[in-house]
Amino acid sequence: MHRKIGIIGGTGGMGSLFSDVFTSMGHSVTVSSRHTVITPEECAESNDIVIITVPIKNTIEVIRRIAPLVNEDSVLMDFTSLKKREVDAMLENSSCEVIGCHPVFGPSVSNLQNQVIVLTPARGNKWISEITAIFRKAGALIEISTPEKHDEVMAIVQGLIHFTSITLVNTMRKMNAVPEEIDKFSSPVYRMRVDFAERILNQNPELYADIAISNPKVPKVLETYIKTSQELFESVISQNRESFIEQFKLASEYLGETKIDAEKRTDRIIDFASKLKESEPDA
């Protein structure tokens, strides 16, 4: 079934990506932003599926403005990286069905094939099957969660990973390390670790600040990370080999069989990365 889909904030990166995806599937897409003639209010009133995809710092304000205008038989969604406070705001300010949605990827992807989308259905059950089917037809992998669980997991998936990546590169900076020199001394696996940190740091810092600061689950995760780092650090500075090995083993045992699969996957990635390096022209 072809639907009328309204995307508020649709001229941004994520909005543009999904506008193209929905249009290619035959849906009628209306885009609204500060740069369009169609207002967010008009967009909210005239579509079956209404999606809010604006900066995190503006999301609650936009929800409060447009949620009351969404028709009762429509569905209201958001694409924010946080879910609990956004879903609560949508529930409080609307009478329609509500489904929180987090595409766990950036707008630079070329399509939704094998990309993860987390859905947090909050009110009603008419739309969840159809929304799931639309995303799956586009190739996405769907995870269903509660808003609370989503934010808890994202505190690790985003908050912790972003934090460690920023810290890694700032440590290199403070040590006056030269990135090009580090690259020359690195094997593909270590080079990729830095590459992924650099990829994060090539993004919008305001978005990453909002993801870290706005998720109330992040501080506890980072407190645990810093405490754990300190324990390992003390093993190193005290030259306590047994303590270092014990902490290594505890982490390894926690991973169980997944580390074996991870090594096989990364072996393939390393092999591919090595071939890319070989094909690079000499400076």
Low-confidence stretches of the chain (pLDDT beneath 50)? 283
pLDDT of residue 283: 44
**Contact between 112 and 140 (Cβ < 8 Å):** yes
- The two structure tokens encoding residue 60: 């609650």
CA distance 51 to 204: 22
Please report the pLDDT score of residue 278 as a whole number.
Answer: 57
State the burial class of residue 118 (Cβ atoms within 10 Å of its Cβ: 0-12, 13-18, 19+).
Answer: buried
- Are 121 and 147 in contact, with CB atoms under 8 Å apart? no
Q: Which residues contact 87 (CB under 8 A, 6 or more apart)?
A: 78, 98, 100, 120, 122, 147
Numbered ranges of CATH 1.10.3660 in the chain: 150-279
Architecture of domain 4-145: 3-Layer(aba) Sandwich (3.40)
pLDDT of residue 174: 97
**Distance separating alpha carbons of residues 250 and 252, to the nearest angstrom:** 5
Chain position carrying tokens 């069905």: 97
CB-CB neighbours of 157 under 10 Å: 15
Q: Would you call 71 exposed, middle or buried from its count of C-beta atoms within 10 A (0-12, 13-18, 19+)?
A: middle
DSSP secondary structure code for residue 140 in this structure: -
Describe the chain by its helix, strand, coil percentages, rounded to 5: 60, 15, 30
What one-character-per-residue DSSP string does 15-41 give?
HHHHHHHHHHTT-EEEEESTTSSS-HH
Tokens matching residue 18: 């999904």
Q: Dihedral, CA atoms, 275, 278, 280, 283, nearest 10 degrees?
A: 160
To which residue do tokens 């489904």 refer? 99
Which pLDDT score, from 0 to 100, does residue 281 have?
Answer: 52
CA 91 to mean position of chain CA atoms: 23
Cα separations in angstroms, 20 against 67, 107, 123, 138:
24, 11, 27, 11
Residues of the chain with CATH 3.40.50.720: 4-145
Report how many helices (DSSP H) and strands (DSSP E) the chain contains, helices first: 13, 7
Entry pTM: 0.87
Cα separation of 94 and 113, whole Å? 32
In sequence order, the β-bridge partners of residue 102 are: 118
pLDDT digits 0-9 by tens, 45-73:
999 999 999 999 999 999 999 999 999 99
CATH number of 150-279: 1.10.3660
